[in-house]
């Protein structure tokens, strides 16, 4: 028997019981790992205290899950199940997640530290919408007929890979699960998914809904564990045909290397960013400040597309910095318990992440940058960091070049459009970028020149499920979301039919 974690919560925003099975989900059942005593402690980042422990898988558990997935692919999923039926099942899963929104949102906030009202009204609805969006695509996976000559009929089929390995991050654990699972299942693949060991609770809860949704055993397997065990096993398993990963660029390199050394599995990577946000003097000033603050401080800065390098034209630089400082001060008053109605800014997800961000702040100080506001712990418990603004930055500083993944904005002055573009592109990353200007010609000219996979004009992080998402350079390979994601989960087969050719 596997353990079930239960906790009664009585908070200003959520009152009720949350519960999850803490075992591995393999072949439609929660099971104990092969190493029965292997556990991972799950911590509440708002308090720094342990919530519960979950089972930790190993390479052997991954192999068992892959074998279950292979059997399911051959007998009860893949192309044996019509797209209309796959879509119906995905819609049923979306309905079940929506029905359990309050509890899943509470688990997300308890585990990740984000405000409960954000989890409830943004993260979980996005999760539901993603499953519904790809449910609609499930019966629309189409190839083409290709004219050759009258003696031959040629066409293409878009076929699933089979077993797909998926590794998701901790910052948006519910919606990241949907972004990976939904297109993979819609196109007929079966999945072995590893949640982050830091934030596994929402994946565990959703795993408990899969059977009720009608997903056959083995089609989805969820294996908790560490990256160097479960993640490495997924990346190198010879029966996994494709792996999709969201996380750091360093880990992305390791996954791609493991793919090359094993079976050359297809790799989709959504990696880090050091995204530029360019504010021109003719921008709508008030809106630019609001979007810039949201772009760096949303989810406590723990967003891969965070606008962490803010470039401001010199004529409005001082005014903008002062206004952004006021926004940061307001944000500081909204830090607190994720289950408080007034909270807009939660903790960093872990002690490791807290220490990492503080290291970057210290490096900025040591490099001669100015900490205009913030730069320190907030409160006496948990992993809270004050919203921070760094000025007097030089291009070679770590705070400018490396991904902080926290509530730390580096604000940099520029003179001309050409200078702004050059500085914005001076990075190994290319995930996102934004431009604020009322000059439409300039806006289009600049976003076309920026080396980033996601660009925004007069907004920031305004991402939609039906629009592709992914990065340039060391920010990743391939695209998620939208119709484009279907291409990453199918392989094209060309079929040549002889209608009369004679030798």
Q: What is the pLDDT of residues 414-455, one digit of tens each?
A: 999 999 999 999 999 999 999 999 999 999 999 999 999 999
Whole-number pLDDT of residue 439: 98
Task: Supply the mean pLDDT for the chain.
Answer: 97
Poorest-pLDDT segment among 30-39, 179-188, 379-388: 30-39
Whole-number pLDDT of residue 35: 87
Report if pTM > 0.85. yes
Whole-number pLDDT of residue 1: 82
Q: Tell me the pLDDT tens digit for each residue of 2-25.
A: 999 999 999 999 999 999 999 999
Whole-number pLDDT of residue 36: 79
Poorest-pLDDT segment among 31-40, 319-328, 357-366: 31-40
Element (H, E) at 91: helix 83-99
Question: Which of 103, 108, 197, 270 does the annotation list as catalytic?
Answer: 270
Q: Tell me the pLDDT tens digit for each residue of 131-182.
A: 999 999 999 999 999 999 999 999 999 999 999 999 999 999 999 999 999 9
CATH architecture of 4-271+478-491: 3-Layer(aba) Sandwich (3.40)
Q: How confident is the model at residue 91 (pLDDT cuts 50, 70, 90)?
A: very high
Distance between CA atoms of residues 59 and 25, nearest Å = 15
Q: Which of 74, 248, 234, 120 lies closest to 166 in space, CA to CA?
A: 234
Residue 68: pLDDT over 90: yes
Kindly state the average pLDDT of the residues 268-279: 98
Kindly state the average pLDDT of the residues 376-395: 97
Whole-number pLDDT of residue 37: 83
Domain definitions of the chain by residue range: 4-271+478-491, 276-464
- Which residue spans within 349-392 are E strands per DSSP? 370-373, 388-391
Q: Which CATH number applies to 276-464?
A: 3.40.309.10
**Does 159 participate in catalysis according to the annotation?**
no
Distance between CA atoms of residues 441 and 444, nearest Å = 5
Whole-number pLDDT of residue 10: 97
Burial (CB count within 10 angstroms: exposed 0-12, middle 13-18, buried 19+), residue 497: exposed
């Amino acid at each position: 028997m596997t353990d079930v974690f239960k906790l009664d919560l009585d908070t200003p925003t959520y009152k009720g019981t949350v519960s999850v099975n803490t075992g591995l989900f393999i072949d439609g059942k929660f099971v104990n790992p092969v190493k029965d005593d292997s556990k991972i402690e799950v911590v509440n980042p708002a308090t720094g205290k342990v919530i519960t422990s979950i089972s930790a898988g190993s390479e052997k558990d991954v192999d068992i899950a892959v074998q279950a997935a292979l059997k399911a692919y051959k007998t009860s999923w893949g192309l044996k199940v019509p797209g209309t039926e796959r879509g119906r099942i995905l819609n049923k899963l979306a309905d079940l997640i929506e029905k359990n929104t309050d509890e899943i949102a509470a688990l997300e906030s308890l585990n990740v530290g984000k405000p409960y009202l954000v989890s409830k009204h943004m993260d979980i609805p996005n999760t539901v919408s993603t499953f519904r969006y790809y449910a609609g695509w499930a019966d629309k996976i189409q190839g083409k007929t290709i004219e050759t000559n009258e003696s031959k009929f040629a066409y293409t089929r878009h076929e699933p890979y089979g077993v797909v390995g998926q590794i998701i991050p901790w910052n948006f654990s519910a919606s990241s699960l949907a972004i990976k699972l939904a297109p993979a299942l819609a196109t007929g693949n079966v999945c072995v998914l590893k949640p982050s060991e830091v934030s596994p609770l929402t994946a565990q809860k959703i795993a408990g809904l899969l059977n009720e949704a009608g997903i056959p055993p083995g089609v989805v397997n969820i294996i908790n564990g560490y990256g160097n065990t479960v993640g490495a096993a997924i990346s190198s398993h010879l029966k996994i045909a494709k792996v999709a990963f969201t996380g750091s660029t360093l880990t992305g390199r390791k996954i791609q290397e493991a793919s090359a050394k094993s079976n050359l599995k297809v790799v989709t990577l959504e990696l880090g960013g050091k995204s530029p946000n360019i504010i021109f003097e003719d921008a709508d000033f008030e809106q630019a400040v609001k979007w810039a603050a949201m772009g760096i401080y949303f989810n406590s800065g723990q967003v891969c597309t965070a606008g962490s390098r803010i470039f401001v034209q010199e004529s409005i630089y001082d005014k903008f910095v002062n206004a952004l400082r006021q926004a940061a001060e307001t944000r500081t008053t909204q830090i607190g318990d994720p289950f408080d109605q007034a909270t807009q800014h939660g903790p960093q997800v872990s002690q490791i992440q807290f220490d990492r961000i503080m290291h970057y702040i210290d490096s900025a100080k040591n490099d001669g940058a100015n900490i205009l506001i913030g730069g320190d712990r907030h409160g006496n418990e948990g992993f809270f960091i004050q919203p921070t603004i760094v000025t007097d930055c030089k291009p070679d500083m770590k705070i400018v070049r490396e991904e902080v993944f926290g509530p730390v904005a580096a604000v940099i002055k520029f003179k001309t459009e050409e200078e702004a573009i050059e500085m914005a592109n001076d990075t190994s990353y290319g995930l996102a970028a934004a431009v604020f200007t009322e000059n439409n010609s300039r806006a289009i000219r600049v976003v076309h020149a920026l080396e980033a996979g996601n660009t925004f004009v007069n907004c920031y992080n305004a991402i939609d499920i039906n629009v592709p998402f992914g990065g340039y350079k060391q920010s990743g390979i391939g695209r998620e979301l939208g119709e484009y994601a279907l291409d990453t989960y199918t392989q094209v087969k060309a079929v040549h039919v002889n209608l009369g050719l004679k030798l």
